[in-house]
Structure 1
Amino acid sequence: MTRVTGPQSRDRRRLLTAGAAVLGAAASAQLWLPESAARAVETPLPDGVFSLGVASGDPLPDGIVLWTRLAPDPLNGGGMPARPVPVEWELAEDERFARQVRRGAAYARPEFGHSVHVDVRGLRPGREYWFRFRAGGRLSPVGRTRTAPQPYAAGGSLRLALASCQNWQHGYFTPYADMLAQDPDVVLFVGDYIYESGPSASAPRRHEGGGEPYTLTQYRNRYAQYRSDPDLAAMHANAPFVVTFDDHEVDNDFAGETPQDPDKQTHDAFVSRLTAAYQAYYEHMPVRASAVPNGPHIRMHRRLEFGRLARLNVLDTRQYRSDQATGQAGAQDPALTMLGAEQKRWLLDGLRDSPARWNLIASQIMMAETDLLPGEGKQWYYDAWDGYQAERNEFLREFRGVRNPVVLSGDRHLTMVSDLKEDFADPDSAVVGAEFVGTSISSNGDQDQAAFRREWDPRLADNPHWKLLDAHRGYHLFDIRRDAIDARIRVVDTVRQPTSAARTLARLRVEAGRPGVQAG
């Protein structure tokens, strides 16, 4: 996504089975309808059928996924008739659709919540496009998207926004309003798109429903509520997203097919919950047919290329992991895995063979060490990579031979920017990479900053690899070029109001060929 200079610069656990792949062809709208046939069977639909907006995702040099979901009654299952509905789509090189480049029609099917995933191919690399949908006489909002640069493009730049952790009940999604103004080429969302918690009477905004979601309809309703946030909807309509999930899209701190509270959720019940949660996740995300769930399994780890500038490895750190350790000995057990054998090989191969200048790893959870115990001894977060240290340390050793590795994470509801050390047990070991743990969009709300500093500042001496620690809400913005990545930590004053001022809290830099994080 090359940015030109000058006055025109702003114009612009498991592999799926064969059966699931066939199902995916239908779900991703590959069953095209002739335009005349689509219009012939079109019947009027209610107002608000495009209430959930439009989105795009997973850009390729020649392709993009276009998304919408028909839902005139979004918080009550969607409100659509129990039949396939034809949906027309258009893609153009201009906002007024005078220069159309692709158009077609597809079915929005009830078994996929009347969602539509159009995988458009044959596009030009590094280009801006506009798109829209039409169904039942109704026209969707217009979306804007971009394709990735041509595969062998070595120059240019990429503006990437890192977001995570948007709890509806903890506040408004105001950071997206500022993100929209910064005009990123792509948004990387690394988990906790929804929260599964029940409604709270004291929250700034209240979750729909009467409790946690367990069924497909309940998860659909929760996603629909989150999609109704105007700032999130506007951001989805203006840049492609690359997404992966963490725990709250299903159940807090789950691991594989093990829930947080196995004494309260039987295995069969949790498998049913996983099946519903993954189905609803697919239905609401702009992802390809490779992500169509196969029962309680979904494939989300994948790789996206942005020319020779950057390779983005998107991880799934939930579905294949061993259950969390409960002590230090367990955290260092070499038998524990975060990624599973197949995904681990996939990641290592992709790092070793990469032709890219920058090798980005989207990890839902923090890779750098967090020692919570001031002074002698250590105390770790076992849900993060600290709980899977043998596998984490293997990757860090590999980083010595990887060109410019940078890990982009979430989960913590904090900004935590770190040097990645080859061996965190040895403070003098080499720096082999950098990690940016993005703060939350709204989770934890407006924190008491003084209380945060009292709790966390005593830990700084035991974590000398931390370069920045902060508890404001916001996101991270990266301008990636061949020579360096310039990062801006963007924060808002409040998420308890629908609007808020935003500012740059800090500027940081990662220089090519120089592992670690420097002042910007």
Structure 2
Amino acid sequence: MSISRRHWWQMALAPCLGWALPQGLWAQAPLEANPFTLGVASGAPSESSVVLWTRLMPPNPYRNPWADLPLEVRWELALDEGFKQLVQSGSHTALPALAHSVHVEVTGLAAAQRLFYRFSVAGFTSPTGQTRTLPRPQDELTSLRLAFASCQRYHAGHFGAYRAMLADQPDLVLFLGDYIYESGGRLGEFRGPVSAAATALNDYRELYALAHSDPALQAMHAACPWLVTWDDHEVFNDYAGGPLQGEGRFGSTGRRRSAYQAWYEHMPVSPRTLIGGLQGLLSGPAALQVYQRVAVGRLAMIHLLDTRQYRDDAVRCGIGGLFKPEDCEEANNPGRSLLGSAQEAWLQQGLQQQSPAHAATRQRWNLIAQPTTVSRRLLPALGERSFSDGWDGYVATRDRLIKSLQDQQVSGPVILGGDIHEHWAAHLHAGPGATQGPIVAPEFCCTSITSRAFGGLTSAEIMALNPHVQFSARQQRGYGLATLSPERLQVQMRVIDDVFKEWPSVSTAAQFEVAASSPRMKRL
């Protein structure tokens, strides 16, 4: 069928803009097998909306007679698992240009509502997912349970940590980066095919499909809504903003554009994430607004940050990304930013709304969720050195954040992170040293879902150089679990016994409590 450019863009933009499409514009292809092989997910919840996600892919992606055809997908949202009490339903066109991914942003919903959803196409029905809308920002809430996770290299082990997380029944999952690893699969790794590093769109798509094929991850996605951000491996190791080292013939932004598109196709994020809409994603420089602010009643405000898209290049001090802080003036350059000026201004504005001047409307807790460690982190490698790719390489950005938390007297600030493949609990001090000045906020970073710890360093060695650190566990995989009430925050460092088991046992390596009246953590 020959389709004009105008009709192509009409179809491409319709799912985002809610347009009705002419009957018969696209032929519906017969499906030989159930195409819901990657499961379902929900995300980006608010008090009145939620995003429903799936991606259609046959069991054998190399035998796909509808690979180049759009498919009309039905969706249903109900109050009950039997779908007798429908809340809303409709149809969405899954485009081949977006790998037949589906992003349905359902609006006009009641606040604090538990919901069930499913998709169907050509006689096949997806698994049923559960989701929920959030309470209104002015509503009092007695408790909230958040799981936070990062760094799930498929080839390094099973995603069994998600089976344990599922049993913990979180209300919401925060995923803090490295959903895939662009380096592909190496010979001798535990599972998955050997593959070259991803450089083109289909390469990235295959890695996301591989991750979504894991049954434990599918179950956790289907259990509750997710809020997601990215780190570097969704694109390229240690990349900063636009030009990527090692791109070669793919140009200065082509690889990033492909990676961003594949990330969007596989995440339960709103179409409003796309700057310039689908046309901007498919035909222009890729740009997505990932950072966002999410209020969960009066109990918590989540500030979810993007520390990759807008950052300045890493400092050129030191060796192999490791530098001595006292020998690197560039790391302290106030003109350099990890977040970019626009995102820093946005964060500053949001923190101002959490000051005592807004006591009648502000939230009790402010969770600053981002991919890595904000507090200082010295490593016993080549002497005492810091890693240039993290907040230590952007000291001015960290100083501005600390100053804002202090100046605005932000209520209940807590830093959540990941990236370092290590459970890490630390106090963020005002400075100038790592333990000097008052404690501004507690910081909790979760270990990886599967990725191994870096090098042969021990937790004892790292803690000896970092006296502000209250706990470190490098050799175990797992996730973090935070339970909030108006009076206190409790964080459990959850660990599994074996990353090579599909059904591992789970335990708590350490547990901490933070009172609403003080940022100092107490180990329980």
Q: Structure 1 residues 332 and 78, CA, compared in 2 at 3 Å: closer, same or farther?
A: farther
Q: Deviations over 1:151-175 (max 9, x none)?
A: 2112321110000000011111010
Q: Give the TM-score normalised by structure 1.
A: 0.89
Q: Which amino acid aligns with 2:440?
A: V
Could you tell me which residue of structure 2 aligns to residue 7 of structure 1?
Answer: none
Could you tell me which residue of structure 2 aligns to residue 18 of structure 1?
Answer: none
Which of 471, 494, 500 is the matching residue for 1:496?
500
Could you tell me which residue of structure 2 aligns to residue 394 of structure 1?
Answer: 400
Q: Which amino acid aligns with 2:337?
A: T
Tell me the percent identity.
38
Q: Deviations over 1:358-379 (max 9, x none)?
A: 111111121010022499x852
Which of 366, 369, 379 is the matching residue for 1:372?
379
Is 1:356 matched with 2:363? yes
In the aligned structure 2, how far is the partner of 1:151 from the partner of 1:38? 43
In the aligned structure 1, how far is the partner of 2:509 from the partner of 2:346? 36
Q: Structure 1 residues 390 and 22, CA, compared in 2 at 3 Å: closer, same or farther?
A: farther
Could you tell me which residue of structure 2 aligns to residue 285 of structure 1?
Answer: 267
Q: Which amino acid aligns with 1:305?
A: A
Q: Deviations over 1:281-327 (max 9, x none)?
A: 00000001122245332211111110111111111100100000132
Q: Deviations over 1:206-228 (max 9, x none)?
A: 346x3111111111111101100
Secondary structure of the residue aligned to 1:286 is: coil
In the aligned structure 1, how far is the partner of 2:433 from the partner of 2:110? 48
Q: Which amino acid aligns with 2:421?
A: H
In the aligned structure 2, how far is the partner of 1:272 from the partner of 1:233? 30
CA contact 1:29–1:117 (8 Å) conserved in 2: no
Q: Structure 1 residues 43 and 506, CA, compared in 2 at 3 Å: closer, same or farther?
A: same
Secondary structure of the residue aligned to 2:344 is: helix
- Structure 2 unmatched runs, 5+: 1-8, 275-280, 318-327, 355-361
Q: Structure 1 residues 478 and 297, CA, compared in 2 at 3 Å: closer, same or farther?
A: same
Task: Return the offset for 1:466.
Answer: 0.5
Q: Structure 1 residues 295 and 504, CA, compared in 2 at 3 Å: closer, same or farther?
A: same
Could you tell me which residue of structure 2 aligns to residue 461 of structure 1?
Answer: 464
Could you tell me which residue of structure 1 aligns to residue 86 of structure 2?
Answer: 100
Mean Cα deviation higher: 67-76 or 393-402? 67-76
Could you tell me which residue of structure 1 aligns to residue 231 of structure 2?
Answer: 246
Q: Which amino acid aligns with 1:317?
A: T
In the aligned structure 2, how far is the partner of 1:206 from the partner of 1:406? 37
CA contact 2:434–2:466 (8 Å) conserved in 1: no
Secondary structure of the residue aligned to 2:519 is: strand
Could you tell me which residue of structure 2 aligns to residue 91 of structure 1?
Answer: 77
Could you tell me which residue of structure 2 aligns to residue 482 of structure 1?
Answer: 486
Could you tell me which residue of structure 2 aligns to residue 276 of structure 1?
Answer: 258
CA contact 1:27–1:112 (8 Å) conserved in 2: no
Q: Structure 1 residues 240 and 134, CA, compared in 2 at 3 Å: closer, same or farther?
A: same
Which of 403, 409, 425 is the matching residue for 1:417?
425
Paired positions, count: 488
Is 1:516 matched with 2:513? no
In the aligned structure 2, how far is the partner of 1:117 from the partner of 1:243? 15
Is 1:26 matched with 2:26? no
Task: Return the offset for 1:443.
Answer: 0.4
Mean Cα deviation higher: 250-259 or 323-332? 323-332
Q: Deviations over 1:155-204 (max 9, x none)?
A: 32111000000001111101000100111011000000000113222111
Secondary structure of the residue aligned to 1:237 is: helix
Task: Return the offset for 1:25.
Answer: 4.9
CA contact 1:174–1:499 (8 Å) conserved in 2: yes
Q: Which amino acid aligns with 1:283?
A: E
In the aligned structure 1, how far is the partner of 2:190 from the partner of 2:302? 35
In the aligned structure 2, how far is the partner of 1:429 from the partner of 1:77? 62
In the aligned structure 2, how far is the partner of 1:60 from the partner of 1:278? 24
In the aligned structure 2, how far is the partner of 1:420 from the partner of 1:138? 51
Q: Structure 1 residues 234 and 28, CA, compared in 2 at 3 Å: closer, same or farther?
A: farther
CA contact 1:439–1:473 (8 Å) conserved in 2: yes
- Structure 1 unmatched runs, 5+: 1-20
Q: Which amino acid aligns with 1:428?
A: Q
Q: Structure 1 residues 24 and 158, CA, compared in 2 at 3 Å: closer, same or farther?
A: farther
Could you tell me which residue of structure 2 aligns to residue 173 of structure 1?
Answer: 159
Q: Deviations over 1:75-110 (max 9, x none)?
A: 559763312211100001111111111111111111
- The CA RMSD over aligned residues, in Å, is 2.5
